[in-house]
Amino acid sequence: MFSLRATMFHPGEKVNAKRKFLVSRGIRHLTCGFISMFASGVAWAQTASDGIARTQNPFHPHSSSAHLIQQLSFFTLAITGAIFAVVAGLWLYVVIKYRQHGSNEQMEEPPQIYGSTQIELAWTVIPILIVVVLFLTVARILFALQDQPVPQNALHVDVVGHQYWWEFRYPSYGFITANELHIPLGEPAGTVTTGLKLLSADVDHSFWVPSLYGKVDTVPNKENDIVLDPTQTGVYEGQCAQFCGTAHAQMLLRVYVQTPEEFAAWAKRQQDTAIEDPAVAQGRQVFETQSCVSCHTIRGTAAHGRFGPDLTHLMSRDTIASGLISNTPENLKRWIEDPEAIKPGALMPAMQLSGDQIDQMVTYLATLK
Amino acid sequence: MADSTLPIDGPVGGTIGVPHEVEDVPTWGERLHEWVTTVDHKKLGLMYIGYGLLFLLVGGIEALLIRLQLFFPNNHFISSVVFNRLFTMHGTTMVFMVGMTIIIGFANYLVPLMIGARDMAFPRLNAFSFWMTALGGLFLYYSFIGGVGLQGAGSAPDFTWWGYAPLTERAFSRGHTADYWALALIVQGFGTIGAAVNIIATTFSMRCKGMTLFRMPLLVWLNLVVAGMILTTISPLTAAQIMLTIDRYLGGHFFDSQAGGSPLLWFHFFWIFGHPEVYVLVLPAFAIANEVIPTFSRKAIFGYPAMVAASVGIGFISVSVWAHHMFTVGMKPASNAFFVLSTELVGVPTAIKIFNWIATMWGGRIRFTTSMLFATAFVAQFLLAGLTGIMLSVAPWNWQLHGTYFVVAHFHYVLVGAIVFCIFSGLYYWYPKMTGKLLDERLGKWHFWLFLIGFHMTFDLMHIPGLLGMPRWIYTYQPGHGWEIWNQLVGVGAVFQAVAMLVFVYNLVHSYLKGTDAGPDPWDAWTLEWFTPSPPPAYNFATEPVVRSRRPLWDIKHPEDPDWKYE
């Protein structure tokens, strides 16, 4: 089957055994490194869980969909790992076995082999078979994930990506919040509870909470739909995964998966108009007379802006500046004084207010529970 | 070993093949004039390569700054604006100004020599193409000084190298940075298309006697496929850039989402260019390996027809895979499934190639020169790059991996682990032909091992933060996700690569000035370029060579056992 040349192959006389050993050991270590690279990535992810499920790690799934994706990833790793072991093994064998020993003077050329139809056919057909198996597996899971029906009673949320924050609209409840998405856990856990409609107000963004689902872009003039099927209550971190401008790195988000009771209580509170506390009327007046109102909404006041986050229940959120810093009066003050210092590129300008005005406004905002 | 291995009697390339001595030493002005006005494919090839290497250093410095910024979480060494400019310029530079120019440079230099021609089919178009390419680089970098428009916005594009609309539209990209970026790619695109037309015309009409299509060296075959792909892929990119410019200057609304334009259209336009582009870059790298591996294994390439078929196959399949960059834009499952299948199918011809390279080495007598070391490492690294590519083709998993450092690691494994390694391999292999001097092997080994260590430290470990959910394009990150240590190790690896590059640059200069003479055929190789003196005279071959097989010099060196008996 080989069309062999007549010439004989004479191996070099001297074999430098020690050097050969060192080289082969070095290459072996390198190969082990490759394999352990993937292993360690996965292993670290699995031990990272620490009671509270607060994670941005795809290998730490907390929804039925993310579990399925993880299983698919292990299946793929097994196939590619096996391919790597076989082919890298052949490569290693060839590199060690057929090195030239000694100088190349006076050595005859090795036998010339031009090819072999049988062998070449074999290593064409085998990859095709692997592709078929992998493709069928992927396609089955792909359709299963993308064609998940949304139950009648599911929660619907419109997710709108903005430069550089997330707007969450709950149309059936009639309120809007920002950066912290609340959804209920299903009964039983792991069933679909929420359908998200992903939209964009300006440029491309990508909604990504690795523990719950893969990323899906929010593309202007296009509507994307995904469903969430969490398996456990908790707080899950995510962030914008498509470059969207200067402050893209700081466009974080969180998803709070709550028991249905907790969620219902939260949603009921969100439906209320803003708390009116006469003690902070001064701060409210500052807010309403500045251009804050052209971007922010506080239901029950004169503020009806749509460009920035809805602040009606600002203090029910754990973070401000799109998940960047915790929501405390001190941080609020720093943020209002100079957003650029905390989040370079943020579109909210520093309002050049006096110290008193800022203090009054923060006192007011801190009442918006 | 150099001259003794040449089995040809008398002066190389026939009796009048020796370039006559120029008596007057030209002045610097004359030399400059000669290089600027040249239409010689070799000089233009060298200018392409030199231009690319220059930008490789620029892009490398940008990469080092990026790694420095990511060394610590919440680092403020570089601001987000500057960071965004750096990765945009790094990507654009490395793909267009480095990858494209160097691979076209090799094709320019080698294709006519390997098919026994005296020049490209259209020498003046060739010069025009190079200068258009050069102009593209200048436009791109001019944005650093000319990009400032309204309110100081600008100074270098900052919207990633694929510039997803509408981020490049006037509403979101004020100033002139997007204009210089678009202009640079339009102008360079014309240059690249010109080069492709030239390569196709040359391979089809300039081959010497006996050089049938199936006797062409694989390097020529692969560059022919690449030239065909350039025609089908650079055109949509150029069209898209023109549409963007119309949007920005003439009030068009192709991608302007505020006026009902479709950002999705840009995704498609860009990736119908962008993915085949990967193969436009990697096939010439394969082409180099196809020459280096047989020569240093002392064997003919295994399965020449299969290698040709696989290359043409990659060319065709690669134009049907673009939307695997778009698994997250919200396509229907059937569309996603199609692109899963087409993407995984590319694995078949590439697998054939890897097997054929290993089979070529099998039973050979491998000489590990620096050139062969780079080519050998390339085979293993490309295997791994292909396998991470298979992982990314798994659409549901892609939703998790897309836009993370896993993807960055994957494509750098292709771009550096395969393409840059092959470019180095090619430079060590053909530098003697281009300059007449051998590159220093001792420095070469330093270069190789330092670069290998740096490469693996950087790009093996870069997969891990990606698996742990670290997105790309972020100028800084919060601590506590387990990303810090990997970013630090990756940064250290980058330093190794930088040192290796310094060794390489030193080697280029040192060997040019003080290197040993190479002679016409230092590697005892088999293709026609080694049948000319080093460097070859302007006319390449004094008399047109006549070939009877794929390895004309083997036939001359082994008259008792020539290749043509078997083909």
Residue-wise pLDDT for A334-343, tens only, equals: 999 999 999 9
* B561·A7 Cβ contact <8 A: yes
* Contacting residues for A367 by C-beta, under 8 A, at least 6 apart: A275, A277, A279, A280, A315
Chain A, 154-213: which have a CB under 8 Å from a chain B CB? 163, 198, 200, 202-204, 206, 208, 210, 213
Residue B149 pLDDT level (bands cut at 50, 70, 90): low
What value does the mean pLDDT take over residues B54-58?
A: 96
Q: Is B2 on the interface with A (CB under 8 A)?
A: no
Residue A363 tokens read as: 């006192």
Statement: residue A232 has pLDDT above 70: yes
Q: Is B556 on the interface with A (CB under 8 A)?
A: no
What value does the mean pLDDT take over residues A309-317?
A: 95
pLDDT in tens, A84-132: 999 999 999 999 999 988 765 567 889 999 999 999 999 999 999 999 9
Alpha carbons B472 and B66: distance in angstroms, whole number: 11
Q: Give B558: exposed, middle or buried? Use CB within 10 Å, 0-12, 13-18, 19+.
A: middle
Q: Indicate which of B167, B302, B384 best probes the interface with A, i.e. most A CBs within 10 Å of its own CB.
A: B167
Residue B23 pLDDT level (bands cut at 50, 70, 90): low
Write down the pLDDT at residue B275: 93
Residues in chain B within 8 Å Cβ distance of A61: none
Statement: residue A6 has pLDDT above 70: no
* A98·B361 Cβ contact <8 A: yes
* A120·B158 Cβ contact <8 A: no
Write down the pLDDT at residue A103: 67
Residues in chain A within 8 Å Cβ distance of B303: 114-116, 120
pLDDT in tens, A181-228: 999 999 999 999 999 999 999 999 999 999 999 999 999 999 999 999
**Nearest C-alpha neighbor of B362 from the set A28, A14, A119:** A119
pLDDT in tens, B213-259: 999 999 999 999 999 999 999 999 999 999 999 999 999 999 999 89
Statement: residue A274 has pLDDT above 60: yes
Residues in chain B within 8 Å Cβ distance of A3: 566
Shortest distance, CA B28 to any CA of chain A (angstroms): 42
pLDDT in tens, B496-511: 999 999 999 999 999 9
Q: Is A120 on the interface with B (CB under 8 A)?
A: yes
* B383·A88 Cβ contact <8 A: yes
Q: Is A363 on the interface with B (CB under 8 A)?
A: no
* B367·A139 Cβ contact <8 A: no
Closest Cα in chain A to B338: A139
Statement: residue B413 has pLDDT above 60: yes
Cis status of the peptide bond prior to B471, with omega within 30 of 0: no
Q: Is B399 on the interface with A (CB under 8 A)?
A: yes
- % of chain A residues with pLDDT over 90: 77
**Cβ pairs bridging A and B (under 8 Å):** 296
Q: Are strands A194-200 and A205-209 parallel, antiparallel or unpaired?
A: unpaired
CB of B47 closer than 8 Å to CB of B105: yes
Where are the extended beta strands (E) located within chain A?
Answer: 155-162, 165-170, 175-178, 180-184, 194-200, 205-209, 213-218, 224-228, 234-239, 252-258, 319-320, 325-326
Statement: residue B315 has pLDDT above 50: yes
Indicate the residue of B328, B366, B379 with minimum beta-carbon distance to A216. B328
Q: Indicate which of A24, A119, A131, A239 best probes the interface with B, i.e. most B CBs within 10 Å of its own CB.
A: A131
Residue A271 tokens read as: 């439906």
The DSSP output letter for A302 is S
Residue B271 pLDDT level (bands cut at 50, 70, 90): very high
What value does the mean pLDDT take over residues B78-86?
A: 91
The ipTM, to two decimals, is: 0.90
Indicate the pTM of the whole model: 0.90
Residue B8 pLDDT level (bands cut at 50, 70, 90): very low
Residues in chain A within 8 Å Cβ distance of B297: 98, 110
Chain B, 16-55: which have a CB under 8 Å from a chain A CB? none
pLDDT in tens, A21-45: 444 444 445 444 444 444 444 444 3
Write down the pLDDT at residue A34: 45
Q: Is A246 on the interface with B (CB under 8 A)?
A: yes
Write down the pLDDT at residue A86: 96
Residue B537 tokens read as: 């005279």
- % of chain B residues with pLDDT over 70: 94
Indicate the residue of A6, A59, A220 with minimum beta-carbon distance to B257. A220
Statement: residue B16 has pLDDT above 90: no
Residues in chain A within 8 Å Cβ distance of B377: none
Write down the pLDDT at residue A26: 47
Write down the pLDDT at residue A10: 40
Torsion, Cα B191 B195 B200 B205, to 10 degrees, reads 120
Closest Cα in chain B to A220: B257
Q: Give B21: exposed, middle or buried? Use CB within 10 Å, 0-12, 13-18, 19+.
A: exposed
What value does the mean pLDDT take over residues B41-67?
A: 96
Q: Is B481 on the interface with A (CB under 8 A)?
A: yes
Residue A135 tokens read as: 């493709």
Q: Is B364 on the interface with A (CB under 8 A)?
A: yes
Statement: residue B326 has pLDDT above 50: yes
Statement: residue B6 has pLDDT above 70: no
Closest Cα in chain B to A5: B561
* A91·B383 Cβ contact <8 A: yes
Q: Mean pLDDT score of chain B, rounded to an integer?
A: 92
CA B322 to chain centre: 19
Chain B, 319-338: which have a CB under 8 Å from a chain A CB? 328-330, 332-333, 336-337
Q: What angle do CA A124, A128, A134 make, to 5 degrees?
A: 150
* A249·B473 Cβ contact <8 A: yes
Closest Cα in chain A to B486: A41
Statement: residue B5 has pLDDT above 80: no
